[in-house]
Structure 1
Amino acid sequence: MNRILGPMARLSAAHPWRTLLLWLVGAAAAFSLAAAVGGPAQEDWDAPGTPAQRGVDLLREHLPEAGNASAQVVVHDRGQAPVPGREVAALATRLAAMPHVLAVDPPRVSADGATVLLTVRYDVPVTHRDLMGHAEPLEDAVAATRATGLQAALGGELPATAQAEVKGTGEMIGILGALVILLLMFGSVVAAGLPVLVAVAGLAVGGAGITVLCGLMSVSPSAPMVASMVGLGVGIDYALLLLTRTRYHLAAGLGVVDAVERAAVTAGRSVVLAGATVLVSLLGLRLAGLATYSAFGLATALTVLAVVVSTLVLVPALCGLLHRRLLPRRVRRGGVTRSKGPSRSQRWAERVAARPLAWALAAVTVMLLLAAPVLEMRTWPQSGSDDPTSVQGRQAYDLLSEAFGPGAPTPYVVVADRSRLGDAEVADLVADLRARDDLVEVSDPVVSPDGGVAVVGAESTFADNDARTPDQVASLRELLPDGAELAGSNALFADFSSVLGEKIWLVIGFVVSVSALMLMLMFRSPVVALKAVVMNLLSVGAAYGVVTATFQWGWGLELLGVDHTLPMSSWMPILMFAILFGLSMDYEVFLLAAIREDYERTGDARGSVARGLAATSGVITAAAAIMVLVFLGFTSETATLVKMLGFGLGVAILLDATVVRLVLVPATMTLLGERNWWTPAWLDRLLPRLQGEGPTGAEEEPVKDERVPLLVE
């Protein structure tokens, strides 16, 4: 690897303008490819093989208006007066004239007449490009109704795809916060702007790759948001690591080309290996069993790959252009020298090393306490009540619940195949449903025009995200005879939760095993690999626990702008695990690489831990602070699920960079001593050597210069 990274970096620094031109040509090619074969994002929410999906497929085949997209239009008089019938009729006419509309159900009027529900039925699934995210025709249709003074709120399936959109404030908060941290860290505007510039450049190329991916497969419209969240964080981190090493060598008196080469074969190698672990984690999402997860993983992996390549190409080239302007002015003037005493981080590591068992037990106790709420964690995909009251979907949900009951926004649909069930059996089924205490508004059977299916509607007596809903779905399915399927959003969400609950262990097993193997290849130590995996699992578990305590138990929830408790989204555990495990490995690789280099040079197993921590704690702390800001910036978005993801990722990185990297890693490595680097002889012969080319000039004894400034501590 050094034979590639070193010469490539040297060439980039020596010929920066040619390198930048070559990168621009590559970027232009990516954008041209995106324009030629790319397409818009399109969701795929089908869950093949699940009972609810079988019911939906029957409806689409025999009764399309009941099996495709729908929207709820709720009209309400704020003065509690009955809604005029002529206004409802006029609204229904306008709704029926919209594109793709097959039917508008007869109005459902509340007991006091102040609330009316009109359900719009479409001829295509909600993921169709003409519908997904496009509520404009609905808005146009209800505009005249609103002009009369009536409240008209859009809810249900289709409007939910267009409401609470991500506004991009999260990225802006992350970028501004990163600039502030980097300016404080480097004392140079030029150096502070370089990692951000490189990360944004990588994001742009990654965005072009996602556009190409959209032209080849269905990609969730939310995937670019997750990709930018992760890509921005790792892009700044990777550029920061490479730049920090380059500045160190520049301050030691090396020329810019030599400094860049030395940084590339040490920090650059860590960037490649850390990026590879992130890619492995993200590609593990393909094992989740749902198409939307494959799209999330591939889109984010493309972005991470783009920022890794951009880092390795652009950082050396920009350093070659900027030279010593990367250093603070006071350092360029030679007015700052490095203290001969140990740094704060080294003193901290030595303090931990003095009582490693006590520190390790304290850190593990903290992480386990934070993870404890996981034992009561409840998952559910989403609910119309999740978003703030400023969102129309939430307003429609609340109006329906108040007027017709908590189960009205998400009714059940029972689909009976009439080739397998006769009319008498369907009638018996309806009677059984009406005899249940937890169902209301059980409708008479509606037979499709071709006579293929009979459809029965029913509503629950409690809300869709109630803890009792999964058991209710299971109980209803036990009641149904062969030939009948339970559909509707509750049934589909229950199936999603079941599939994801089963597949998460497959994803975890794949990601953990491959990551452990990669760590063994990097550091040739099964002890280090196993220890890193366990610590990363601790970080993920603690993040799950904090999210559960915050969103499900309500601890500090109001600070995030959420007005009620809710379960963790079923989409979150797998997505958070894949992202967090990869990102945690980044810091593990950065820290272990420094410890390993010192150990190979000195043979001092205990001392190398303190010196490795001292060498990397500054950059890891700054990188983690930037990533935490990037992730927490997304809690400013309107959508509650985006808040949940950003909050969970931010908390996890904060814990990983403090409790784990600053306490648990030095404590355990001090306890193990030489055993950290033990490898059985047979395994040593079996493992390929990633550094088999031998040390280069960049890996020899580091420059010894007492005037090297303290650029990062």
Structure 2
Amino acid sequence: MSRFLHRLGSVCAAHPWRTLTLWIGFLAVALGLAGAFGGDTRSSYDVPGTSSQAGTDLLRERFAAVSGTEARVVLHDTSGVRLDRGLVEEVRQRVGEVTDVGAVGEPRMSADGDTALIEVRYLKPVTDLGPSAVDDLLAATSAAGATGIQVELAGQVPEQETASGSVAEAVGLVAALVILVIAFGSVIAAGLPILAALVGLGVGGSGVILLAAVAEVSSTAPTAAAMIGLGVGIDYALLLVTRHVEGLREGLSPVEAAARATATAGRSILVAGATVLVSLSGLLFAGLSSFYSYGYTTAIIVATVMLTAVTLVPALSAAAGNRLFGRRQRREIAARQSAGELTPAGNAGVQRPTLTARWAQRVGRRPVPWAMGALVFMLLLGAPALAMRTWPQDAGSQPASETVRRAYDLIAQEFGPGAYAPMLIAVDLRKVPADNLPALVESVRELPDVARVAQPVLSPDGSAAAISVQAAFAPSDERSDDLVDELRGRVLPDGAEVTGVTAVFVDIADLLGERLWLVVAVVVGLSLLLLIIVFRSILVPLKAAFVNLLSVAAAYGVLTVVFQWGWGSGLLGLDRPVPVSSWVPVLLFTALFGLSMDYEVFLLSRIREYWLADGDAGASVVRGLAATGRVITSAALIMVVVFAGFAADTDIVVKMLGLGMATAVAVDATVIRMILVPASMAMFGKANWWLPAWLDRILPDIDLEGSEPATQTPSAAGPVTGALAAEAPPADGPATEALAGPQPVTVAGKSPWTMG
């Protein structure tokens, strides 16, 4: 693999303008195809195998007029004057003429008469409606709007059209550029990772739009995929540029520096990207088709930015040459080259110990108290997650700038909190005699948590009936679960099912709560297997999985505190506490487990390089942390600001994902990388790299390092002391040689230290 990546990087670097032209061509073609043949995103509310879906299927088969997507039109006179019934009836008739509308209910007037609620039922599910559905409703209500009446839309149709803006992406990109300029001291070096990430994001995003033409893609999936793709794309490019700059400092030519960077950093990128893709595969076990689209879209974009990282970045880096350095650095390098202090084969000597190296040595001297302190902190941060309640996002959690939120508030104020999303009882009259319907309505009305029950509406052939039920509380209230369970378990006879948005949301919350543990098991198991194969170790992958689970738990805890408890939620544009969206825990886990593994892979790959070079378990940790400290810190900071930018998005799911991922990356790059990793590896020493001989023999051999000599980079760690250096060789041993210059090492993908 290393030899292949070296050749790939060399070819791209030797022909930078051809490579750039090819990628621009790919981007132009992809954008053109997406514009010509791309589809629209849409969310599905189908939950196969649940009671609510059984009720929906019954209505679709027997009562099509009320089985499809629901929407509601709210008319409100802001002056408090009673609405003109003639105008309300005119709006009702025009709404009934809208394409694909199957039924329009009688207008329901508020007690003071200044508000009217008109329920609309479509013949099709929301996924099959065209993009003009909302515009058609607005056109039908224009007569009321023209008279000064406030018109708001509610239900699945307008909720489907609630779009996320591009402000979050712009904020993240600007912040990333500032961080990179500070880190590199060069605008060119700072802009290169962002340019490469944007090209990959453009090509991958076009692929997502094309996928939407032939498959269902959730409306928020592209935004979530762009958030992850932008973060990892910049990170991957940053890692490769950093290794390229190291090569230039050693006196390598731009082409050779790019080739070696691709051969070394490229390996980490491929492993890290593969881990992200493995994590995303866990969404296939979530049990909902909408989650599949999150996995597909994110996988497409991650794979594309991986490809741009190992091809476009070497080309751009070679074309930039020494302009990747700031002016002062370029002058210093030129002076050293003219003085003969910098040669292609050598290095500039041992530098002073970096802050990261000194910190690692401090932690290594007393690893147990440091590890216990960090562990307690992470557990405390994740503890609120034990009280987390999940519920699919609804209009009540949207910002007041959205029509669905304004409609939600008006309906709750004028008709009661449960009127926004009434439940619907679907009755199979072939199993339940029609004469029993009055008694059924009365038994439902007697429930203390029911505010209103409408009279049954029969299907044209008399084989089915629909009964609308309004709860006494908001759909997101935790009592909704109990009411649905009571209806199903005690009130409804065989042949009657509770459906409607509230019942569907109850089933979604229950299903995802159950499936989360299956997703966790699959993702952790596959990731462990991949890392064991790559790193030829048992403890290192187990530790990586454990600390990643800690970072996910921390993200869950912060989401619970901010959104469910309302601590600081006003800073995110929320005016009330809301449950954590049911979509978020599964999505967050699969995304975070892969992203957190990125930093583990970047760090462990460099530690393993030093371990394979000299067999010094303690020194390799210090040197690995020192070598990766700056790049991982910069990459993590970029991820945090990019994800934090998405926390300002209007969509509640994107907002939660952004805050959760920003939290997890922040603790991963500080508490975990700076404390738990050096402390745990100091405690285990050489056992970190132990692999049973029998397992080493049967595992597939992924030859990441290749069979040609691997050149080690000079250390910036300085002398190694304390517990981490307990097993270090004498001063004139391999460690000193590794510090003094490159050492040829043939590794062939095997562990240098196995035990039977």
Task: Quickly name the TM-score band, shorter chain normalised.
Answer: over 0.9
Gaps of 5+ in 1: 707-713
Query: Which residue does the alignment assign to 1:158?
Result: 157
Separation in structure 2 between the aligned mates of residue 492 and residue 445 of structure 1, nearest angstrom: 20
Query: Which residue does the alignment assign to 2:524?
Result: 512
Query: Which residue does the alignment assign to 2:354?
Result: 343
> Can you list the C-alpha shifts for 1:124-172, whole angstroms capped at 9, x where unaligned?
11222415x7411222233331332222211122111123x21111110
Number of residues paired by the alignment?
Answer: 703
CA contact (8 A) 2:268 2:605 kept: yes
Matched, 1:74 2:74: yes
- 1:410-559 paired onto structure 2 within 5 Å: 410-478=421-489, 479-559=491-571
Residues 430-439 or 618-627, more deviating: 430-439
Residues 503-512 or 190-199, more deviating: 503-512
Residues 484-493 or 324-333, more deviating: 324-333
Separation in structure 1 between the aligned mates of residue 17 and residue 548 of structure 2, nearest angstrom: 41
| Secondary structure at the counterpart of residue 127 of structure 1 | helix
Q: With the length of structure 1 as denominator, give the TM-score of the two structures.
A: 0.96
| Secondary structure at the counterpart of residue 409 of structure 1 | strand
Residues 77-86 or 248-257, more deviating: 77-86
CA contact (8 A) 2:164 2:649 kept: yes
| Secondary structure at the counterpart of residue 206 of structure 2 | helix
> Can you list the C-alpha shifts for 1:264-285, whole angstroms capped at 9, x where unaligned?
1211100000000001111221
Matched, 1:401 2:430: no
> Can you list the C-alpha shifts for 1:372-415, whole angstroms capped at 9, x where unaligned?
01111100002221112222111111111111111111111111
Root-mean-square deviation over aligned CA pairs:
1.9
Residues 174-183 or 493-502, more deviating: 493-502
| Secondary structure at the counterpart of residue 453 of structure 2 | coil
- 2:156 maps to a residue whose letter is E
CA contact (8 A) 2:77 2:114 kept: yes
CA contact (8 A) 1:42 1:129 kept: no
- 1:546-695 paired onto structure 2 within 5 Å: 546-691=558-703, 694-695=706-707
Separation in structure 2 between the aligned mates of residue 692 and residue 114 of structure 1, nearest angstrom: 71
Of the candidates 286, 292, 295, which is equivalent to residue 294 of structure 1?
Answer: 292
Separation in structure 2 between the aligned mates of residue 82 and residue 26 of structure 1, nearest angstrom: 60
Residues 316-325 or 176-185, more deviating: 316-325
- 2:48 maps to a residue whose letter is P
Matched, 1:112 2:123: no
> Can you list the C-alpha shifts for 1:246-267, whole angstroms capped at 9, x where unaligned?
0011011111121112111211
Would the alpha carbon gap of residues 157 and 36 (structure 1) be closer, same or farther in structure 2, given more than 3 Å must change? closer
CA contact (8 A) 2:350 2:715 kept: no
Query: Which residue does the alignment assign to 2:11?
Result: 11
Query: Which residue does the alignment assign to 2:215?
Result: 217
How far the C-alpha of 1:338 sits from its partner, in A, is 8.2
- 1:282-431 paired onto structure 2 within 5 Å: 282-334=280-332, 340-431=351-442
Separation in structure 2 between the aligned mates of residue 704 and residue 680 of structure 1, nearest angstrom: 31
Matched, 1:137 2:148: no
| Secondary structure at the counterpart of residue 128 of structure 2 | coil
CA contact (8 A) 1:251 1:327 kept: no
CA contact (8 A) 2:627 2:715 kept: no
Would the alpha carbon gap of residues 135 and 666 (structure 1) be closer, same or farther in structure 2, given more than 3 Å must change? same
CA contact (8 A) 1:45 1:291 kept: no
| Secondary structure at the counterpart of residue 408 of structure 1 | strand
How far the C-alpha of 1:564 sits from its partner, in A, is 0.4
How far the C-alpha of 1:334 sits from its partner, in A, is 1.3
How far the C-alpha of 1:221 sits from its partner, in A, is 2.2
- 1:241-252 paired onto structure 2 within 5 Å: 241-252=239-250
Separation in structure 1 between the aligned mates of residue 161 and residue 194 of structure 2, nearest angstrom: 31
- 2:639 maps to a residue whose letter is M
Separation in structure 2 between the aligned mates of residue 146 and residue 395 of structure 1, nearest angstrom: 15
How far the C-alpha of 1:29 sits from its partner, in A, is 5.1
| Secondary structure at the counterpart of residue 333 of structure 1 | helix
Query: % of aligned pairs identical?
Result: 48
CA contact (8 A) 2:360 2:622 kept: yes
Would the alpha carbon gap of residues 557 and 31 (structure 1) be closer, same or farther in structure 2, given more than 3 Å must change? closer
> Can you list the C-alpha shifts for 1:614-647, whole angstroms capped at 9, x where unaligned?
1111111110111111111012222222211211
Separation in structure 1 between the aligned mates of residue 390 and residue 400 of structure 2, nearest angstrom: 22
> Can you list the C-alpha shifts for 1:562-586, whole angstroms capped at 9, x where unaligned?
0100110000000000000000000
| Secondary structure at the counterpart of residue 126 of structure 2 | coil
Matched, 1:58 2:53: no
How far the C-alpha of 1:72 sits from its partner, in A, is 1.1
Separation in structure 1 between the aligned mates of residue 125 and residue 250 of structure 2, nearest angstrom: 63
How far the C-alpha of 1:705 sits from its partner, in A, is 11
Separation in structure 2 between the aligned mates of residue 369 and residue 602 of structure 1, nearest angstrom: 39
| Secondary structure at the counterpart of residue 441 of structure 1 | strand
| Secondary structure at the counterpart of residue 458 of structure 1 | strand
CA contact (8 A) 2:23 2:199 kept: no
| Secondary structure at the counterpart of residue 121 of structure 2 | strand
Residues 396-405 or 522-531, more deviating: 396-405
Would the alpha carbon gap of residues 273 and 598 (structure 1) be closer, same or farther in structure 2, given more than 3 Å must change? same
- 2:376 maps to a residue whose letter is T
Residues 426-435 or 466-475, more deviating: 426-435
CA contact (8 A) 2:45 2:504 kept: no
> Can you list the C-alpha shifts for 1:346-377, whole angstroms capped at 9, x where unaligned?
11111111211111111111110011011111
Would the alpha carbon gap of residues 441 and 420 (structure 1) be closer, same or farther in structure 2, given more than 3 Å must change? same
Residues 418-427 or 264-273, more deviating: 418-427
> Can you list the C-alpha shifts for 1:413-436, whole angstroms capped at 9, x where unaligned?
111101111123333322211221
| Secondary structure at the counterpart of residue 396 of structure 2 | coil
Separation in structure 2 between the aligned mates of residue 190 and residue 696 of structure 1, nearest angstrom: 32
- 1:16 maps to a residue whose letter is P
Separation in structure 2 between the aligned mates of residue 703 and residue 667 of structure 1, nearest angstrom: 24
Residues 687-696 or 556-565, more deviating: 687-696
Q: With the length of structure 2 as denominator, give the TM-score of the two structures.
A: 0.90
How far the C-alpha of 1:32 sits from its partner, in A, is 5.8
Would the alpha carbon gap of residues 396 and 31 (structure 1) be closer, same or farther in structure 2, given more than 3 Å must change? closer
How far the C-alpha of 1:27 sits from its partner, in A, is 4.0
- 1:65-104 paired onto structure 2 within 5 Å: 65-104=65-104
- 1:207 maps to a residue whose letter is G
Gaps of 5+ in 2: 337-347, 718-756
How far the C-alpha of 1:55 sits from its partner, in A, is 0.8
Matched, 1:47 2:58: no
Separation in structure 2 between the aligned mates of residue 382 and residue 315 of structure 1, nearest angstrom: 40
| Secondary structure at the counterpart of residue 127 of structure 2 | coil
- 1:530 maps to a residue whose letter is L
Separation in structure 2 between the aligned mates of residue 70 and residue 688 of structure 1, nearest angstrom: 53
- 2:63 maps to a residue whose letter is L
How far the C-alpha of 1:339 sits from its partner, in A, is 7.8
